[in-house]
Amino acid sequence: MTSTTVQRHRAPVVDAAAHRPGLGAALSWESRKLRSQLRTKALLVGAVLAPLAVVVIVHSQPRPPKDTLFGRFATDNGFAMALLVLGFASQWVLPLLTAVVAGDIFASEDQHGTWKTVLTRSTSRSTLFWAKTAVAVAFALVTLALLAASTIAASWLVVGHQPLTGLSGQVVPAHTALALVAGAWASMALPIIGFTCLALLFSVWSRNAAVGIAAPVVLGLVMQLVGALGGIETLRPFLLSTPFEAWHGLLAAPRFTGPLLDSLVTSAGWSVVCLTAAYLILRRRDITGG
Amino acid sequence: MRRSIISVVLALVAVVAVSGAVLAGTGGGSSVTQARLERSLPTEFANLYSQQARLLGHQGVTPASLQAEAMCDKGGAVEDNVGPGSNWNCLVSWTDPNNPMPPEGYGKFELDVHSNGCYTASGPSKLVGFQTITDRRGAEVTNPVYEFDGCFDPQGDNTPTGVEFPSLVQVTTTALQPSDDGTVSLQLSCGTGVAGCQGTVDAKAGDTDLGTVPFTIPEEQTATVHFPTPVPAGADSVDFTVTVTKGVSSKGPGVPATTTLTLPAG
């Protein structure tokens, strides 16, 4: 008798049609799934520890790595070291970091054959899609923030915080340099979101985690190669690798921010196109066989 | 599944190939231009050169006092001055009372320019010194102007700067080798600069005039001038006087430059 009363009290709170949990619940499940994975923890720990190792190793080199921007000052200037690591990370590390999670997040449901269970019993396709997308993007941004903080802190502590020589030969005082280096790292957020959406698309479309993880990284490298070629530079604004270089303007005098605005447009364009395609593919998918 | 992957990859390749071919055919619209380099390089050079002056303890050198200006050129006369590449050369002039310019009035910088608007420049070591310099406290430090990286705004001002420098005419022959009929030839080079080189070379062996031969050399090329009169027997050297009408000789604008080359014994 008591139990029926309780049920009756609870029932009106949620509408019959909305018995399914909302986006909040889906988000918490997805983030819980992600947090319980070993590789997520490994990536986050790696994002904190790897920069320290890289900084110590590069710092101990007898000759500075001159072939990368800021490399020639990296062994005796902490800000240059943080920018050297940034230049290196943007080549393939950042796309890989986000793809490891985003490329797997939809494909793992295929791998484990859990689409039917999740979609028929728990939630709607679009709720699940947005939850997975939000979790993947949040993971990318958290990883980027950790990597940036760890790199800047390690460079500051290991190499030092001397005034930095900028890309126009100007001397940048330490406190300004710190803000600019942090800004340069922050500008990676736009392309990394773009690469996350690209990985999500591959994850949905290929139903294969390996493709979801590898394809964005390979495409990133191809775009970098295409962007570096002479004669076809009109393509550069459309490449998702170009935003990784938008920070150069911050370290020049006078500063230029045109490439950062372009970076916003390019990254947003790629993100919207990839997410729309992924959403449409997922909406039309036949999961009954899964 | 596999078929769809293949078709998507093929479509992507086709799109990239076609657009690449079209763009390559139309010139590509590169943001790497002569005017942008000519604005970026002197600014950066002036900043770094005054850093060097501080290290060396030179007085009265500021980025503004140097009045640095540059003329940039890609690949000599045969190539358009646009696009990335490692064959960019920039002639830079500046004013430093501690270290005057050579007679031609500029130093040549070699640049490797990337499509993203960043470049690596190496300065002429006879003007800016070698990789390390001794600072005023006696320590060996890295020379900031020997080699440096810079970036320009890919959307920056692209109106021509109008800075022009004449090509430097130099004698590149180091040892004379008379041919069988006793005549001699001289090799000349025309450096980076505007509009190539033109002038005459007069050769004298002792009191004998071997003739005056005109030359016209395109930018960044070499030419050989041949003197029809044989060198008289017993002469041990030949004086070549280069008079430049277009370009600049190694003695300065409008000044003839004489080079004496010895003849092999016997």
Q: Which pLDDT score, from 0 to 100, does residue A20 have?
A: 64
Is pLDDT above 80 for B59? Answer: yes
Mean pLDDT of A188-196: 97
In a domain, B54, yes or no: yes
Q: Does A12 touch chain B (CB under 8 A)?
A: no
Find, among A166, A185, A167, the residue nearest to A176 by Cα: A166
ipTM of the complex: 0.86
User: Contact at 8 Å (CB) between B96 and B61?
Assistant: yes
Q: What is the DSSP string of A238-272?
A: G-TTGGGGGGGGGGSSS---HHHHHHHHHHHHHHH
CA atoms within 13 A on the CB side of A122: 19
In a domain, B212, yes or no: yes
In sequence order, what E strands does chain B have? 69-74, 85-93, 107-113, 118-122, 132-134, 140-142, 147-151, 168-171, 185-190, 197-205, 208-217, 221-226, 237-246, 248-249, 257-262
Nearest residue of A to residue B1 by CA position? Answer: A206
Q: Does A251 touch chain B (CB under 8 A)?
A: yes
Is pLDDT above 70 for B146? Answer: yes
Is pLDDT above 60 for A9? Answer: no
CA dihedral for B239, B245, B250, B253, sign (positive or negative): positive
In a domain, B110, yes or no: yes
Q: Which pLDDT score, from 0 to 100, does residue A278 have?
A: 96
In a domain, B157, yes or no: no
Cβ pair A168:B23 closer than 8 A? no
Reported as a pLDDT band with limits 50, 70 and 90, residue A114 is: confident
Q: Which of B126, B151, B176 is the last residue of a domain?
A: B151
Residues B110 and B217 in one domain: no
Nearest residue of A to residue B25 by CA position? Answer: A231
Is pLDDT above 80 for A16? Answer: no
Q: What is the CATH number of the domain that holds B175?
A: 2.60.40.1940
Here the tokens at position A36 are 């319980």
Beta pairing, strands B248-249 & B168-171: parallel
User: Contact at 8 Å (CB) between A239 and A194?
Assistant: no
Reported as a pLDDT band with limits 50, 70 and 90, residue B266 is: low
Residues B143 and B50 in one domain: yes
Residues B46 and B132 in one domain: yes
Q: Which pLDDT score, from 0 to 100, does residue A158 have?
A: 95
Residue B192: give the domain boundaries: 168-262
Cβ pair A242:B28 closer than 8 A? no
Nearest residue of A to residue B145 by CA position? Answer: A169
Nearest-CA distance A113 → chain B (Å): 17
In a domain, B123, yes or no: yes
Nearest residue of B to residue A244 by CA position? Answer: B116
Here the tokens at position B207 are 């009191």
Q: Does A259 touch chain B (CB under 8 A)?
A: yes
Residues B136 and B177 in one domain: no
Nearest residue of A to residue B13 by CA position? Answer: A222
Mean pLDDT of A194-219: 95
Mean pLDDT of A106-129: 84
Strand partners, B91: B71, B108
Find, among A129, A285, A131, the residue nearest to A207 by Cα: A285
Give the single-character DSSP code of B206: T
Nearest-CA distance B226 → chain A (Å): 41
Here the tokens at position A131 are 């939850």
User: Contact at 8 Å (CB) between A33 and A136?
Assistant: no
Q: Which pLDDT score, from 0 to 100, does residue A1 have?
A: 41
Cβ pair B153:A233 closer than 8 A? no
Q: Which pLDDT score, from 0 to 100, does residue B144 have?
A: 93
Total of domains in chain B = 2
Nearest residue of B to residue A206 by CA position? Answer: B1
Q: What backbone phi and psi angles, to 5 degrees, belong to B212?
A: -120, 120
B-chain CB neighbours of A234 within 8 Å are 23, 28-29
Residues B107 and B134 in one domain: yes
pLDDT in tens, A201-213: 999 999 999 999 9
Is pLDDT above 80 for B3? Answer: no
Nearest-CA distance B249 → chain A (Å): 32
Q: Which pLDDT score, from 0 to 100, does residue B24 have?
A: 54
Report in angstroms the alpha-carbon separations of A73 from A124, A168, B28: 53, 14, 34
Cβ pair B30:A231 closer than 8 A? yes
Find, among B264, B223, B231, the residue nearest to B247 by Cα: B223
Here the tokens at position A237 are 């604004």
Q: Does A249 touch chain B (CB under 8 A)?
A: yes
Residues B54 and B131 in one domain: yes
Q: Least CB-CB distance to A167: which of B1, B5, B150?
A: B150
In a domain, B94, yes or no: yes
Residues B38 and B147 in one domain: yes
User: Any idea which of A56-70, A106-120, A259-273, B97-111 has the lowest mean pLDDT?
Assistant: A106-120
- Percentage of chain A with pLDDT > 70? 92
Residues B143 and B180 in one domain: no
- The full set of domain ranges for chain A reads 22-284
A254: cis peptide before it, omega within 30°?
A: yes
Q: Is B212 helix (H, G, I), strand (E, B) or coil?
A: strand
Nearest-CA distance A245 → chain B (Å): 7
Q: Which of B92, B117, B151 is the last residue of a domain?
A: B151
User: Contact at 8 Å (CB) between A43 and A143?
Assistant: yes
Distance CA B61, CA A164 (A): 20
Report in angstroms the alpha-carbon separations of A188 from A164, A223, A265, A273, B216: 21, 16, 14, 19, 53
Is pLDDT above 50 for A7? Answer: no
B-chain CB neighbours of A165 within 8 Å are 48, 51, 144
* Helical packing angle, A78-88 and A174-186, nearest 10°: 10
Which residues lie closer than 8 Å to B148 by C-beta, 6 or more apart? A72, A169, B44, B45, B48, B120, B121, B123
Which residues lie closer than 8 Å to A98 by C-beta, 6 or more apart? A136, A139, A140, A143, A192, A195, A196, A199, A216
Nearest-CA distance B248 → chain A (Å): 31
Q: Which pLDDT score, from 0 to 100, does residue A69 have?
A: 92
DSSP percent split of chain B into helix, strand, coil, nearest 5 = 20, 35, 40
Nearest residue of B to residue A232 by CA position? Answer: B28
Mean pLDDT of B72-78: 88
Reported as a pLDDT band with limits 50, 70 and 90, residue A12 is: very low
pLDDT in tens, B9-57: 677 677 666 665 555 554 557 899 999 999 999 999 999 999 999 999 9
Residues B174 and B128 in one domain: no
pLDDT in tens, A225-281: 999 988 888 889 999 999 999 999 999 999 999 999 999 999 999 999 999 999 999
pTM value surpassing 0.80: yes
User: Contact at 8 Å (CB) between A70 and A64?
Assistant: no
User: Contact at 8 Å (CB) between B109 and B126?
Assistant: no
Q: Does B175 touch chain A (CB under 8 A)?
A: no
Cβ pair A69:B29 closer than 8 A? no
Average model confidence (pLDDT) for chain A?
Answer: 89
Here the tokens at position A208 are 């294969």
Q: Least CB-CB distance to A168: which of B29, B44, B144?
A: B44
Distance CA A97, CA A193 (A): 11
User: Contact at 8 Å (CB) between A169 and B41?
Assistant: no
Is pLDDT above 50 for A14? Answer: no
Find, among A82, A79, A80, the residue nearest to A54 by Cα: A82
Cβ pair B149:A233 closer than 8 A? no
Residues B106 and B175 in one domain: no
A 152-181 → B contacts, CB under 8 A = 165, 167-171
Q: Does A70 touch chain B (CB under 8 A)?
A: yes
Residues B59 and B146 in one domain: yes
Is pLDDT above 50 for A195? Answer: yes
pLDDT in tens, A266-277: 999 999 999 999
Residues B87 and B115 in one domain: yes
Is pLDDT above 60 for B75? Answer: yes
In a domain, B100, yes or no: yes
Q: Least CB-CB distance to B28: which of A231, A251, A253?
A: A231
